[in-house]
Structure 1
Amino acid sequence: MSVFIIAEAGVNHNGSIDIAKEMVDNAKEAGADCIKFQTFIAENLVSKNAEKAEYQKKQTDSNENQLDMLKKLELSFDEFIELNEYCKHKNIEFLSTAFDLDSIDFLMKLDMKRWKIPSGEITNLPYLIKIAKTGKPIILSTGMSTMDEIKETVKVLKENGCGNITLLHCTTEYPTPYKNVNLRAMNTIQDETKMPIGYSDHTKGIEVSIAAVAMGAIVIEKHFTMDKNMEGPDHKASLEPNELKAMVKAIRNIELALGNGVKIPAESEIKNMKITRKSIMASNCINKGEVFTEENLTVKRPGNGISSMMWFEVLGQTAIKNFKEDELIEL
């Protein structure tokens, strides 16, 4: 199964439908399977007094609160309808994360193939139940979560009608320092839950996503932006289009390289076996009837004669003809 690559546009469109469409174009060009946005009604998502996270304060107007910031990053429901149609036209899957119950109701009308639940909603019981009852597949990010919380959320989703769940290991920090990635936890999640796993990457580069695929991730989610220097909370922790394209290419190469796990000679290397392996041959002239010994035999390339693994079976036998130096031994 091919790795499902989600190009996370998030709110990096900065509230512009035109930038959002440009991001669709670039995600498609990069080879991503899906582009994901964030759907919310700011007043339903945060209170008037909610402060911004530290990383948000660094990248946005320090005088505004979280509600003011999110209002500037909103797209209307009508704009999401337009984006969904645009994605269909471009032949790339549209996906958007709902951040409130009204947004879930709206996105249900767009007939998305799956839901993406963000890390911040993993303890939002009414939200989890509402999404689970749709019966659609769910991709769940697990940032900030303990193993017990993950198991409890999976239980809630299953009990309310969702049996197709993929869990993404994630560190909710933008950007995530490499020392805080703890990528091995991805496999711990799989071992503990017996569920498919992936990785939602908030690091600056592409290395960790590539490593996650090598470790078994079947879903990769990565933020991207048209320009890291744009104002907004997530741009600095996002890839630019050329970097996104490089990541997708690297992941596809790793997929090919992983293979099926069966250890046999690859088709491309069979032709090299005779050249690089060795055969038993005469180390000097050997006369017919002479006994083969360690003094008159040697092992050299090419490997198109008697295998050197037959060394002890050949020793002590009698030469059936004269052999010149470096001539392959025949029995």
Structure 2
Amino acid sequence: MKFGTHSTFIIAEAGVNHNGDRQLAKELIDIAADAGADAVKFQTFQAEQLVSRYAPKADYQIQTTDRQESQLEMIRQLELSIGDHQDLIDHAQMRGIQFLSTPFDGPSLHLLTQTFGLKTVKIASGEITNAPFLLEIARAAETIILSTGMSTLAEVEAALGVLAFGFIAEKTQLPRRGDFDQAFASDVGQTALGDRVTLLHCTTEYPAPFAEVNLCAMDTLASAFRLPVGYSDHTQGIHIALAAIARGAKIIEKHFTSDRRLPGPDHQASLEPDELKQMVQQIRDIEQCLGDGVKSPQPSEWKNRDIARKSIVASQSIQKGGDFTPENLTCKRPGHGRSPFLYWQTVGKIAPEDFEIDQVLDG
């Protein structure tokens, strides 16, 4: 599954860093576009559909928002209206950047896929055990990006089973016990997953501790499911995202904000505009550096081979007809003469001409 023109698809995660302000959300689109990201992503939800009135805040949310405010009250302030979505989608199109959003409930999913015709749906880590919603997403989206934070390998497989069933079964078919496993194990299910799903490794903490990032789990996911794997980065800074590129991440997702000092749950763990731009540029540099894996001289290296390599040269004056010996031969630059690999075949041979000190033997 390929999303853009680069080998790494970069998602600038605006999330809820618009603070419920449409104009700030448009500024975030501008920042993402100016940085060179492939997509800018928001979150689409109806607060009452997402959070019960008894749901507590996460520790990082308590630290960055009003402690007396419930999670539901916090979330209500961060909703985007239908009009907001239309305006933001139009603005993203005008700026030449793909608009994405993560839905958290059925009405929001259908708003994105049916009302606005979005083809790709990003599934948040917290939804990976929400089987009814996963099935609904599989039946509505053409391509899916699935975050796997907080998950075991078995939970990822179970979620993929639901998606596979949603891809290949009739839309009206109700699943029975074992249908998800059967869909996952089938050739047609595996083909559908390979064509339509990318997994994101993720550590769901804000900011994520470096010791708990476990980038090697990307390899485990790729090996276990034979799907493209990317990385949703919640660490501070950009260097871990860059390391993920070197490990083969096909997608990088990173939170950003216009200003880390703004109030709200995610600003403090987000990149500021200059940092986002730097991350995108360095990812593009790393993409070029990865190459095709074939070990051979690069075009710029050819001119340096004779300069950097060595040839067999005379270490003493040698008269024509004399013997080449270990005492009168050595290896020095430049490298356009006889290869040092021929040293042992040269020792004991007769000098065909006079040689001065440092004269290169012809190849």
Structures share fold, TM-score greater than 0.5: yes
CA offset at residue 126 of structure 1? Answer: 1.4
Q: Answer yes or no: is the 8 Å Cα contact 1:84–1:94 preserved in 2.
A: yes
AA at the equivalent of 2:250: I
Tell me which of 202, 209, 221 is aligned to 2:253: 221
How far is the alpha carbon of 1:224 from its aligned partner?
Answer: 0.2
Report how far residue 134 of structure 1 moved: 2.3
Distance 1:287 1:54 in 2: 85
Shift of the alpha carbon at 1:241?
Answer: 0.6
- Partner-residue secondary structure (3-state), 1:73: coil
In 2, are the aligned partners of 1:137 and 1:165 still within 8 Å (CA)? Answer: yes
The answer for the alignment partner of 2:279 in structure 1 is 247
Matched AA of 2:166: N
Find the counterpart in structure 2 of residue 97 from structure 1. Answer: 102
CA distance, structure 1, for counterparts of residue 22 and residue 135 of structure 2? 31
Calculate the TM-score normalised by the size of structure 2. 0.90
Structure 2: unaligned runs, 5 residues or longer: 1-5, 168-191
1:33, 1:245 → 2: CA distance?
Answer: 12
**Per-residue deviation, 1:113:** 3.0
Which of 300, 319, 341 is the matching residue for 1:287? Answer: 319
Q: What is residue 134 of structure 1 aligned with on the other side?
A: 140
1:68 to 65, 69, 73: 73
**Secondary structure of 1:160 counterpart:** helix
Cα-to-partner distance string for 1:138-176 (whole Å, 9 max, x where unaligned): 000000101000011011101111531100000110010
Deviation string for 1:174-215 (max 9, x for gaps)?
010101111111111111111110000000110111000100
- In 2, Cα distance between equivalents of 1:313 and 1:160: 70
In structure 1, the partner of 2:187 is none
2:92 is aligned with 1:87: yes
1:46 counterpart = 2:51: yes
Matched, 1:37 2:37: no
In structure 1, distance between residues paired with 2:278 and 2:309: 37
Contact preservation (8 Å) 2:29, 2:40: yes
- Matches of residues 257-268 of structure 1 in structure 2 within 5 Å? 257-268=289-300
Of the candidates 123, 126, 129, which is equivalent to residue 120 of structure 1?
Answer: 126
CA distance in 2 between partners of 1:228 and 1:209 (Å)? 19
CA distance in 2, matches of 1:36, 1:224: 10
Amino acid at match of 2:25: A
TM-score, length-scaled by structure 1: 0.98
Partner-residue secondary structure (3-state), 2:351: coil
User: Aligned residue for 1:144?
Assistant: 150
1:231 partner SS: coil
Match of 1:325 in 2: 357
Letter of the structure 2 residue corresponding to residue 181 of structure 1: V
CA contact (8 A) 2:119 2:141 kept: no
Match of 2:27 among 19, 22, 30: 22
Query: Could you tell me which residue of structure 2 aligns to residue 304 of structure 1?
Result: 336
**Preserved contact between residue 120 and residue 141 of structure 2 (Cα < 8 Å):** no
Give the conservation status (yes or no) of the 8 Å contact 1:288–1:322.
yes
Answering whether residue 189 of structure 2 is matched by residue 183 of structure 1, we say no
Residues 99-148 of structure 1, C-alpha deviations (whole Å, 9 max, x = no match): 11110111112122311000011111111011101251100000010100
Identical pairs, percent: 53
Runs of 4+ in 1 over 3 A off after TM superposition: none
Q: Structure 1: how far apart are the matches of 2:338 and 2:13? A: 58
CA shift, 1:51, in A, is 1.2
Q: Distance in 1 between matches of 2:360 and 2:109?
A: 75
Matched, 1:314 2:314: no
Contact persistence 1:320–1:330 (CA under 8 A): no
Aligned-partner residue type, residue 142 of structure 1: T
Structure 2 counterpart SS, 1:96: strand
* Residue identity in the other structure for 2:357: E
Aligned to 2:10: 5
CA deviation vs aligned residue, 1:294-331 (integer Å, no higher than 9, x gap): 01111100001001111011111111111111111237
Aligned to 1:171: 203
